[in-house]
Structure 1
Amino acid sequence: MQSDLVNRAIHQPSNNERPPARRAGVWLQRRVLSIVNPLAAGLVLVEAILLLVGVIFRYVLNRPLSWTDELATMLFLWLAMMGAVLATARGEHMRLTFVLNRVSREQRALLETLGTVVVSGLLVVLIPLAITQSMDDWAVMTPALEWPDGIRVLAIAAGTALMLMVSLGKLQAEAKWTHIAISLVVVALGLASLWLGKPWLLGAGNFKLLLYFVGVVGICVALGVPIGFAFGAGTVAYLATATRVPLEIVIGRIDEGTAHLILLSIPLFVMLGLVMEVTGLARALVSFIALLLGHVRGGLSYVLLGAMLIVSGISGSKAADMAAVAPMLFPEIKKRGGDPGEMVAQLAAAGAMSETVPPSFVLIIIGSVTGVSIASLFTGGLLPALVGAIAVGIVCGRKAKTDDTSNVKRATFAEIRKAGLYALPALALPFVIRAAVVEGVATATEVSSIGIVYCLLVGSLLYRRMDWRKIYPMLVDTAALSGAILIIIGMATAMAWALTQSGFSTDLANTMMKMPGGAVGFMAVSILVFVVLGSLLEGVPAIVLFGPLLFPIARSIGIHEVHYAIVAVLSMGIGLFAPPFGVGFYAACAIGRVSPDDAMGKVWPYLGALSIALILVATIPWISTGFL
């Protein structure tokens, strides 16, 4: 599905009515889409097949293939970048339009053009850096396939070049030349001001962090620049004008942010959710749940919370969890008149509350960098997540008091039994997935491919609702949504690295160690710090940076390391899903296909409830350590 902007550019008016330059812009966008659509769809399909082949050879044939994970990782970066190109062409990158919606039509057109110019400028900077990085990595051979690693990094160069072509095509097709000229002047003046101030900025200390990572990023976000590109613009501007660090490091950090194989679970769980919808499994499952809880006010909200708790114990990735649950439940919630913004707010809160459910990727990282027992972290994370679920559930219940359920008929036992039998294959899917992980059949990344095959077989043989014509559009949608999420993660990783290299982390740790109040004061400050870090840095970079610094301090003043770890993860979870900077919040909006503007004001009551749950967990260590 194309964005309104692309539709206007392509369909209204017709090409014959457009000036040649505008027709060229439309042609350029179409040409890029004609190349990237099949390429991105093919990459999604190949990734799913690769992971499934790896499972079959390792578990069924007992002949593990050493190259499948390596090839999957290499192709994953190509999938992420081609998906980002699709999201650019379709206007599906996450961004705030609060300001744009409150200005005149002419002013909005100017600000849209300014935002596109900012994105284009960033891409112009990144393209040669990506080419250079790819050439440098060409001599490095991968262990199993013995292919040049530069092939993988070349994806960033190709992706940024194609995104630039799409952005220039949009400017040609949609923007006024006067608006383009004004935008170029504004961007040039801003960059010139920062460049001329470089001698002063080099010695400005932490003030320059506020200038770039709050000021520049904040202005870009307000202008409607997509969130990931706003992060990238702030990072590149900071490194170029306030440090002596070479800009090539940005490409390396983007690569690092999207190179984790666990992130491959995001597109595959997105695809799994779409397959469940196409094959009828989602409809059967939701219909059964609706019969059970449909007569209860807020019933589907409680189902959403429970589903996130269950799925979180499967994938370990919050974005993958949301991608698995949302496509299954949101259509029915919308059908019942649910507010899309409220749904995404609940999804974001559910993602934050389930951060400590094993096998949480963040818990694994904490254990690896701090020496805390991962088994103990997994045990200690269950009860705090339940406390968070109860807190969010209370808010859901209060908000549902005004729901009109007078026309909802309570199902009979016979109706529930019939729907339950029909939904049994769908109900079995979580158990199939969990069993595959627990029994060692597949990893958290690979298990989604098993789920996809399971859904296709059930949909074709049992439900007989499979429409194979929907496969190709589904693959394209999967790539576009995944690219919109992964570009934010990649750019956020680059921004996190820039913050760490500023010395900010060491200064913060030293300041926290000197805080009065002993263990209580240190824990209180830690909560505030991890909330902010979760919002700005995301969980993994924040833990890698601050874990080795803060955990020894916590141990020295008598705080149990598992208790401190759980509090840190819950705090970062709240920050991760708190707008305007929380990456998780925008991932929830992307997965729910809702504008951040519609959900931003509605997420705060849920985050407030989670904050109360966090304080409860922090003040009662037994909640985290009672079952160790």
Structure 2
Amino acid sequence: MELAIITLLFIALIFIGIPIAFSIGITALVGIVTMTSAPTTMIPMKMFYGLNSYVLLAVPLFVLTANIMNSGQISHRLINFSIALVGRKPGGLGHANVLVSMLFAGVSGSSTADTAGVGKILIPNMINKGYSREMSVGVTAASSTIGGIIPPSITMVIYGGLTNTSVGQLFIGGMIPGVLIGLGMMFVISRIAIRDNLPAMPKISKSEFIKLSKDAIPAMITPLIIIGGIVFGVFTPTEAAAFSAIYAFLVSVFYYKSIKLTDLFGIFSETLKLSCLSLFALAAASALGEFLGFYRINALATDFFGQLGGSEYLFLFIIVLFFLFIGTFMDAIPAMVLFVPVVYPVALSLGVDPIQLGIVIIITLSIGLVTPPYGLCLLISSNIGELPVDRSFNAVLPYILVILFVLIGIIFVPSLLLV
């Protein structure tokens, strides 16, 4: 009875517009207080221990890297390079939009940072070049979901911390799926470009291409440093995040000269705001997870999947459907903190690889960034393109199908993850 009441409370809080982190925290507080055997001190203790993880230090550090890169106008340089590389194809700006999202994903690890940084430049540019608002917004919103899939990825760090799974292996596992999603989106754009006779960008000279490449290379080295350092054991994911922030700072200040020391206060302030939002949600979800553990939710989930026959493929398909639903109204981080501890033991009992499970969950939750009512990337792109959300959602549907197609491939061909 108590569990049903707490569930209704949680739904009601979200429905009336309480921010998700506070909704989780209030629900955890009320739930634990109703447990007569649990002291109220359990709430701050569980919130503290939920953040007491060395690997979680990577979260604010990757956020700091993204903010430095955005403030240093790295996105402009990556956009110019992407246009030079693929802009000559029909629908060139659409292809460049996807390519820059793939490159920016390797720099920031954040889909929303990608949407904001790239969308402000490319959406107006695409509209001015004759692209429809629907396509301009749809491509930008959909391609930005790659930000959480191609490493480094903040959501992978969270999943690794929750399950004690190697973050380095998760980073490697996200590479091929992320590239396949990007290539699939480019294929969709090429079909639309032929149908709608979309323009190509003018050809640039060889010397101009070399200049743009030299301008973009320092930014593109960032993911190579992070992934290479982790794979070869030079540093841990947290140390890699710290190194990437230092590298981004040095490149922006001394190479591009696009950031002044006086800009650091604003960068640090924005980093604290964004990091606190994610980490508070993580702490609150840890307290709520303790309440759910009191009702043996893990055991109930294990029994449920056991009654279905114990098929790992059926389990993964149910996971995709479940997190598709959750992702429509909840951010990826609290969704993982609440439900990964529930499904993870079941996955192990069925023989599902932890890396495969993590990549499936992360990609599925990335779709939630472009599905209303949450759909943060969709909302940001819609706002930039001045397009109603319903029309924006219709524009991203073909790209969502691409992501789902890659998801099915990962479920049936886990060797795509290279781990």
Equivalent residue in structure 1 for 2:16, among 207, 211, 220: 220
For residues 41-60 of structure 1, the aligned pairs below 5 Å read: none
In the other structure, the counterpart of 1:273 is 66
Alignment-derived partner of residue 356 in structure 2: 566
CA–CA distance in structure 1, aligned partners of residues 7 and 162 of structure 2: 28
Residues 218, 612 of structure 1: CA spacing in aligned structure 2 closer, same or farther, 3 A cutoff?
same
**Correspondence 1:385-534 to 2 at 5 A:** 385-394=178-187, 406=199, 408-438=201-231, 440-516=233-309, 521-529=314-322
C-alpha deviation, 1:416, in angstroms: 0.9
Alignment partners' CA distance in 2, 1:613 and 1:388 = 7
Counterpart residue identity of residue 275, structure 2: S
Note the aligned Cα RMSD (angstroms): 4.6
Quick one: structure 1 residues 308 and 392, their matched pair in 2 at CA, closer, same or farther if it must change by over 3 Å? farther
Name which of structure 1's ranges 524-533 and 294-303 shifts more when overlaid on structure 2.
524-533
Task: Give the C-alpha shift of residue 510 in structure 1.
Answer: 0.4
Structure 1 counterpart of 2:84: 291
Residue 547 (structure 1) aligns with: 344
1:165-314 to structure 2, matched below 5 A, reads 201-202=1-2, 207-214=4-11, 216-221=12-17, 225-241=18-34, 245-295=38-88, 296-307=92-103, 310-311=106-107
Write the distance in 1 (CA, Å) between the matches of 2:23 and 2:93: 40
1:128-139 paired onto structure 2 within 5 Å: none
- Superposition TM-score, scaled by structure 1 size: 0.52
Equivalent residue pairs, number: 400
Equivalent residue, structure 1, for 2:413: 621
- How far apart are residue 417 of structure 1 and its match? 1.6
1:570 deviation in Å? 0.7
Contact 1:505 1:546 (C-alpha < 8 Å) held by counterparts: yes
Q: Deviations over 1:226-252 (max 9, x none)?
A: 221122223323333476533332222
1:332 aligns with 2:121: yes
- Looking at structure 1, the residues matched to 407 and 223 of structure 2 have their Cα atoms a distance apart, in angstroms, of 28
Residue of 345, 349, 352 corresponding to 2:145: 349
* Corresponding residue SS for 2:284: helix
Give the secondary-structure state (helix, strand or coil) at the position aligned to 1:483: helix
Q: Tell me the distance in 2 between the aligned counterparts of 1:210 and 1:499.
A: 10
Cα distance in 1 for partners of 2:160, 2:192 equals: 35
Indicate the structure whose relative CO is greater, using CA pairs within 8 Å and at least 6 residues apart. 2
State the SS of the aligned residue for 2:368. Answer: coil
Q: Give the whole-Å Cα distance in 2 for the aligned partners of 1:583 and 1:258.
A: 28
Deviation at 1:321, TM superposition (A): 4.0
Identical residues among aligned pairs (%): 18
Shift of 1:407: 8.0
Equivalent residue for 1:182?
none
Instruction: Judge conservation of contact 1:291–1:416 (CA < 8 Å) in 2.
Output: yes
Mapped to 2, the partners of 1:242 and 1:543 lie a distance apart of 23
Amino acid at match of 1:487: F
Higher deviation after alignment, 498-507 or 340-349: 340-349
Give the distance between the partners of 2:185 and 2:139, measured in 1 at CA. 13
Mark the CA change 1:501 to 1:348 in structure 2 (over 3 Å): closer, same or farther: farther
Distance 1:510 1:418, change over 3 A: same
1:417 corresponds to which letter in structure 2? I
Output the TM-score relative to the length of structure 2.
Answer: 0.73
Alpha-carbon distance, 1:479 to partner:
1.7
Give 1:578's aligned residue. 368
Show CA shifts across 1:67-119 (max 9, x none).
xxxxxxxxxxxxxxxxxxxxxxxxxxxxxxxxxxxxxxxxxxxxxxxxxxxxx
What SS does the corresponding residue of 1:538 show, helix, strand or coil?
helix
1:178-209 Cα deviation digits (max 9, x unpaired):
xxxxxxxxxxxxxxxxxxxxxxx44xxx5335
The alpha-carbon deviation at position 291 of structure 1 amounts to: 2.1
Contact 2:61–2:241 (8 Å) recurs in 1? yes
Partner of 1:538: 335
List alignment gaps of at least 5 residues for structure 2: 128-132
Change (3 A) 1:572 1:254: same
Amino acid of the structure 2 residue aligned with 1:231: I
Q: CA deviation at 1:382?
A: 4.8
The structural deviation recorded for 1:514 is 1.1
* Cα distance, 1:308–1:233 mapped onto 2, change above 3 Å: same
